[in-house]
């Protein structure tokens, strides 16, 4: 295959996959709003466009399936057939077959390895009105044995595939002309030699419409938004953006270093005019670098609705499988986050939503017995709070039974009775994130809340995020996921311990307090600090990383870091500065060292380790749970 054809094929696969993602969502919306003509037209255009591209590339199996689906969609949008769940189910199945064909094309370059006979037969049954599961559909098919003109006439379909409505569509939709008159005019136009007479002119000659009606329709067509020019956007491979991001990261490090040197030169040679010019140039470089960094970050940002796109279809299929009624509401879909974060959060989100439906929301009979509405409510809301993206998943199901969690945790030996006695309500709830924990009575292919929750938390922590759980028995549960806007460049607090510098991500820092040695108390051999009404477990970085200490200090700083509602005090000698740091991965070198998430290079050119606050909090929590009766 030539490079040019390969490029066309890649574009086709990318665009088709985007369309398929949208179609899944649109069909679920259509099911709840069956008379929405605009929605039907949009779905029809997408299927039509995909069929056209597949035909050009010679993928006949794909064309065959898409064409049958398109014919049904055409009948639906022409109101010759009614939208019902049975038809939607078959068309969703068609989408799944098309996805499988796409995967086959991507892997083998052909569409011959996916069986399409079964789905083609189902689609034909619906099309002919013989599908047993869709009585409503057959009732709405036109009884006349002659093929309807719309099906046999291609230009009408071709015209409707354009993003703006055709003149014929406007005339029919606004009741200015009948469908038959417009189709007769289009047929007459089709048989004319080039240049063809405009449609409006033919209708006027046939006295099908008045001049006033034609002016009205043409004016409406002009006011329609024009399709976006194709060359207004450009596709860029993610690895190219990653490369640019890395280069900008290096530029930021170089900028930091230059500013440090410039500041020292200013202090030592204040009167030198050249140093003054250098300072001005550095200030300009600083502004440009910051703007460039923001611009590159924005190119990598995408709306979270791309991640949410697969959820409506999944919720529909799963609730049908479990005989439950679930209404899904999604908010904040325009919230943007970095592509690398979006890629990582997709699977955990799917897992949490599956668990909420399976193990959280009750069956309609159970809900009605409790005085609730038969249908459960599942809400997923995304918002930006500071430098974090917060996703909240709420369900109004049965909630999580704390006693059940305690029983399971004890039975599996994850905690002792003494530890449980000291735990707060939320700490007990968060036990479900421990490896091997499950509250499901039996493991199914859907799984219960708790199955694999440790994997969910691990994946979220991998991108410096956090996950927390709140629940009220009988009322429902809420899972809160906090994610960084980007995982490449972060604000960090630089701290010093025995002349070693460490960076603590600022997003996890609550406050920093200065204390003296006498403020530190010991409970069961563990150091704690009474800060206001809270007992704070302390971690000394010098001990954590085996840094030798010269002498016992009298005064310290404690940096209060948080993960969800849990807190830990990190004991350091000095607070240095707040800096923007570029995260460099160091897994190959320090894979076994706990509490470190990466490294950065400071303005002085030194390598500084970035602390993994979530691991530090976990360590402190483990100490806290291993016998600290507070």
List active site positions: 48, 70, 355
In this structure, what are the phi and psi dihedrals at residue 88, rounded to the nearest 5 degrees?
Answer: -60, -40
**DSSP-assigned states of every residue in 153-198:** -HHHHHHHTSSSPPHHHHHHHTTSS-HHHHHHHHHHHHTSPSSPPP
DSSP state of 339: H
DSSP state of 227: P
Determine the Cα angle at 375 with ends 369 and 376, to 5°. Answer: 95
Cα distances from 320 to residues 357, 398, 445, 451, 459, in angstroms, run: 11, 19, 15, 21, 29
From 419, 330, 449, 421, select the one nearest 379 (Cα to Cα): 330
Residues 292-308 as b/e (b if ≥16 CB within 10 A, e otherwise) read bbeebbeebbebbbbbb
Strand partners of residue 471: 477
Contact 578, 506 (CB under 8 A): yes
Q: Which of 145, 126, 142, 124 is nearest to 134 (CA)?
A: 126
Contact 611, 503 (CB under 8 A): yes
Class of residue 417 by CB neighbours under 10 A (exposed 0-12, middle 13-18, buried 19+): exposed
Q: Is 518 helix (H, G, I), strand (E, B) or coil?
A: helix
Q: Which residues pair with 539 in a beta bridge?
A: 570
Q: What angle do CA 560, 342, 567 make, to 5 degrees?
A: 15
Rounded to 5°, the CA angle 448-453-459 comes to: 140
List for the chain the helix, strand, coil content (%; round to 5).
50, 20, 30
**Which one, of 487, 466, 460, 495, lies nearest residue 578 by Cα?**
495
Cβ atoms of 185 and 129 within 8 Å: the answer is: no
Q: What angle do CA 626, 627, 629 make, to 5 degrees?
A: 135
Q: In the 8-state DSSP scheme, what is residue 80?
A: S
């Amino acid at each position: 295959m030539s490079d040019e054809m390969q490029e066309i094929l890649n574009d086709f696969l990318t665009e088709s996959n985007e369309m398929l993602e949208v179609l899944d969502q649109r069909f679920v919306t259509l099911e709840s709003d069956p008379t929405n003509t605009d929605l039907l037209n949009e779905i029809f255009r997408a299927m039509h466009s995909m069929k056209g591209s597949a035909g050009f590339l010679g993928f006949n199996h794909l064309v065959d399936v898409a064409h049958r689906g398109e014919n049904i969609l055409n009948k639906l949008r022409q109101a010759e057939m009614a939208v019902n769940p049975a038809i939607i189910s078959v068309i969703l199945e068609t989408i799944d077959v098309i996805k499988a064909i796409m995967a086959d094309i991507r892997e083998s370059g052909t569409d011959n390895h996916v069986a399409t006979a079964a789905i083609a037969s189902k689609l034909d049954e619906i099309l002919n009105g013989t599908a047993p599961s869709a009585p409503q559909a057959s009732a709405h098919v036109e009884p006349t044995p002659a093929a309807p003109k719309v099906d046999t006439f291609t230009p009408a379909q071709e015209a409707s595939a354009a993003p703006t409505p055709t003149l014929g569509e406007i005339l029919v939709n606004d009741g200015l002309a009948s469908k038959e008159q417009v189709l007769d005019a289009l047929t007459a136009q089709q048989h004319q030699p080039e240049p063809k007479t405009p449609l409006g002119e033919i209708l006027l000659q046939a006295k099908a419409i008045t001049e006033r009606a034609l002016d009205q329709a043409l004016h409406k067509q002009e006011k329609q938004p024009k399709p976006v020019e194709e060359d207004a956007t450009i596709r860029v491979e993610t690895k190219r953006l990653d490369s640019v991001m890395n280069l900008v990261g290096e530029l930021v490090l170089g900028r930091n270093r230059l500013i440090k040197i410039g500041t020292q030169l200013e202090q030592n040679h204040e009167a030198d005019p050249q140093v003054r010019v250098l300072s001005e140039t550095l200030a300009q470089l600083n502004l440009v670098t910051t703007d460039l960094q923001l611009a590159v970050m924005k190119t990598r940002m995408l709306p979270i609705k791309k991640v949410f796109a697969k959820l409506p279809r999944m919720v529909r299929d799963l609730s049908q499988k479990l005989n439950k009624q679930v209404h899904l509401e999604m908010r904040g879909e325009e919230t943007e986050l970095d592509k690398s974060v979006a890629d990582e959060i997709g699977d955990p989100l799917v897992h949490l939503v599956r668990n909420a439906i399976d193990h959280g929301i009750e069956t309609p009979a159970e809900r009605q017995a409790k005085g609730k509405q038969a249908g459960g409510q599942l809400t997923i809301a995304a918002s930006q709070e500071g430098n974090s993206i917060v996703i909240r998943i709420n369900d109004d199901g049965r909630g999580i039974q704390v006693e059940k969690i305690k029983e399971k945790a004890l039975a599996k030996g994850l905690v002792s009775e003494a530890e449980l006695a000291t735990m707060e309500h939320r700490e007990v709830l968060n036990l479900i994130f421990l490896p091997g924990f499950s509250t499901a009575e039996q493991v199914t292919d859907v799984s219960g809340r708790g199955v694999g929750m440790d994997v969910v938390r691990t994946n979220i922590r991998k991108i410096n995020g956090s996950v927390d759980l709140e629940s009220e028995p009988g009322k429902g549960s809420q899972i809160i996921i906090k994610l960084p806007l980007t995982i490449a460049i972060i604000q960090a607090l630089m701290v010093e311990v025995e002349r070693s510098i460490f960076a603590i991500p600022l997003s996890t820092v609550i406050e920093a307090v200065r204390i003296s040695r006498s403020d530190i108390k010991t409970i069961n051999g563990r150091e704690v600090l009474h800060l206001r009404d809270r007992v704070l477990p302390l971690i000394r970085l010098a001990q954590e990383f085996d840094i030798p200490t010269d002498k016992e200090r009298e005064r310290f700083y404690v940096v209060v870091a948080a993960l969800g509602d849990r807190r830990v005090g990190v004991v350091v000698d000095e607070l240095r500065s707040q800096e923007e740091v570029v995260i460099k991965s160091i897994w190959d070198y320090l894979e076994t060292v706990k509490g470190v998430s990466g490294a950065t290079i400071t303005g002085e050119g030194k390598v500084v380790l970035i602390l993994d606050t979530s691991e530090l909090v976990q360590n402190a929590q483990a100490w806290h749970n291993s016998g600290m009766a507070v």
